[in-house]
Amino acid sequence: MKDIPKIAETLKLLADGTRLTILALLKERELCVCEIVEILETTQPNISQHLRKLKAAGLVSESRRGQWVYYSLSLSEVPYVQAVMDYVPSIKEKLDSIGLVCKDECCD
């Protein structure tokens, strides 16, 4: 019973379309903020706020490479989210067709 509130909060995060889309993108490959901004056609502060919440919930991790920060899925501690992500349709073709390259000035 003690895990139910945590699971409920995590599932609430997934109820947001933007956050679920970010996770679907990260399911395909790691991305930097500027790539996610371009794909979702929104602002950097908006994406950073969503990523902050996902990171706090333990759903994404970040790695710094020089001046760039890359985000990837981190679902080993939340297998129930992995089960949800197994049902999220692949967007690999769309991601591959965009062919993004991170711009120097965008990621910090």
List pLDDT tens digits, range 7-36: 999 999 999 999 999 999 999 999 999 899
**Cα–Cα distance for residue pair 106/42, rounded to 1 Å:** 13
**Cα–Cα distance for residue pair 10/13, rounded to 1 Å:** 5
Q: Sign of torsion, CA 27 72 20 34? A: negative
Which domains are seen in the chain, by residue range?
4-97 (1.10.10.10)
Percent of the chain with pLDDT over 70: 90
Say what the pLDDT of residue 108 is.
43
Q: Which of helix, strand or coil describes residue 20?
A: helix
Task: Name the strand (E) or helix (H) holding 38.
Answer: helix 33-40
Q: How many CA atoms lie within 13 A of 84 on its CB side?
A: 18
